[in-house]
Structure 1
Amino acid sequence: MRHFLALARTGSVRAAGSMLGVSHSTVARRVEALEARLWRRLVPITLCNYVATAHAAQLDPERGARPARWLGSSVTRIVRELVASSSYPEVPIWGTFESMAIMMEAAHAGLGFVMLPTYAGDPEPGLQRLARPDLRHVADFWLLSHRDLRDNARLRAAREGITAALTARAALFRGEAEGWRETAPLRHELAPGAGAPRA
């Protein structure tokens, strides 16, 4: 557990290894062993860029009648990193929206582009992916069980129900929902600000 906590605090296996006085490969092995023992990876979380269908032509960064802009959020640093590595890095960021629901409403109102998890953006009526969408695998859903409760029948049933529900919708979480498969290649990358990949 101390290897995992060091990795979470420092953001990279090298820094965690330095902090603990062990090699980076030792940190990586210990964290992977912990994940195998405690967690079950369920589905990936993928982000994509969206614009309101009603305002798509006006906000097109190449031919639009109105200036295009990204809708910002309260996690400013992450939004800046996502925009900088997007297909539209020259489009400015505007506003600070506190929740995904408010950002979606702002996008519907034509206030700008929004980056959303595909499980929220793809099924949303009135939103469409940008002409050059940026699919990014940024995280995974994990299901955590304490080892003392793994055999509890009620919790096992709940875990099985959650796993079945998320697995049935895995294509939506990966950005591969029906009708979207051919729009953009998936970029596997760490969440912005997460540090270097594990060695």
Structure 2
Amino acid sequence: MQKARAGVPVDCSLPFAPDASIAISGVSVTTITDRDYTITVTSTDTPSGNATFSLPVGQATLGYFEVRHSVLDSELNAVQFTFRISKTTIEAVAIDPANVNLTRHGHGVQSAVPTSRVGDDATHATFRGDSPGLSVFAVQGASTQALPTTTVTPTETTTPVTETLTTTAPTETPATATDDSTTESGTSTPGFGVAVTLLSLLGVALVVLR
């Protein structure tokens, strides 16, 4: 770029193969100073350099592109990328076009780039992403395939039942012995026995005297 004016976007259309599964078709750069600079955009299947991208759960990566440049991020006011993804690729990878996004890896930090779908033709969907700088990017999208779910089967827990057996010993009542024999009780009149004896003796004496 030569004689770029501060605050004025410089739009560049990039050549791409019409049948490419993913391609960068344009870039727009706005600087905060008047200056010349160079930009080179390269599409790759793997991230270059030390860029390492973590892939969120349920996301798929379609490709990467790297931007080499002679302008510092601190001299940039805005950067906008336009890229195309073939509909065949979208269907094959099973991603939702509404959730396609750019992810940037710059200065050792991974960050999401605001991305929107801006158009379609018969073979491709077109997207646009607004980045704060130039570096390495990944094109990712949320999968339309349902994530596997784990069904947790409740485990039946058997609680042991503690039975307390209480045994009551029969109470033995001591048997009371009952004497069935008849107790004869006599009632004696004081002096009765002595009187009988005297009368007997008196009777004997009278018999003798006669």
Name whichever structure is richer in strand by fraction. Answer: 2
Q: Which structure would you say has the larger Rg? A: 2
| Superposition TM-score, scaled by structure 2 size | 0.21
Looking at both structures, which has the greater relative contact order when contacts are Cα pairs under 8 Å and sequence separation is at least 6?
1
Length-normalised TM-score, structure 1: 0.22
